[in-house]
């Protein structure tokens, strides 16, 4: 599976937008970009995915670079409940397992 690189941690103020970056320079043309998050003491939670175009859902937005070598997860208004570890993962077209890296620990300050 192609690898991703994320910052170890980020901090945000409550009610402000958060941009979580992810580099995936070895991405192949058929890899999907997935984001998951894990809140303390809970199972991982699917957030969003994309292939080439930017995507929006009720939880977040995903901005994908034109060359697809990087992407950014955008939380439009961070809340205390968004404090979690965020994982950026590439999935092959017929892939199955998720390969979790260390992710980005997001801390939200009130």
Partner 1 sequence: NAGVMQNPRHLVRRRGQEARLRCSPMKGHSHVYWYRQLPEEGLKFMVYLQKENIIDESGMPKERFSAEFPKEGPSILRIQQVVRGDSAAYFCASSPRLPPYEQYFGPGTRLTVT
Q: What are the residues binding partner 1 (CB under 8 A)?
A: 32, 34, 36, 38, 42-46, 49, 51, 91, 93-103
Minimum CB separation from partner 1 for residue 37, in Å?
A: 11
Structure tokens belonging to residue 91: 């999935």
By beta-carbon proximity to partner 1, the closer residue of 21 and 44 is 44
Integer-rounded Cα radius of gyration of the chain: 13
By beta-carbon proximity to partner 1, the closer residue of 30 and 79 is 30
Minimum CB separation from partner 1 for residue 100, in Å?
A: 4
By beta-carbon proximity to partner 1, the closer residue of 20 and 36 is 36
CA distance 95 to 1: 9
């Amino acid at each position: 599976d192609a690898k991703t690189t994320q910052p170890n941690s980020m901090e945000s103020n409550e009610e402000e937008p958060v941009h979580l970056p992810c580099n995936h320079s070895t991405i192949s043309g058929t890899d999907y970009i997935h984001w998951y998050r894990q809140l303390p003491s809970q199972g991982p939670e699917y957030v969003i995915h994309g292939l080439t175009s930017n995507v929006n859902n009720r939880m977040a937005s995903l901005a994908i670079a034109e060359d697809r070598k990087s992407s950014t997860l955008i939380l439009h208004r961070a809340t205390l409940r968004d404090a979690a570890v965020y994982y950026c993962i590439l999935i092959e077209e017929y892939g199955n397992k998720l390969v979790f890296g260390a992710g980005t620990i997001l801390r939200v300050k009130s």
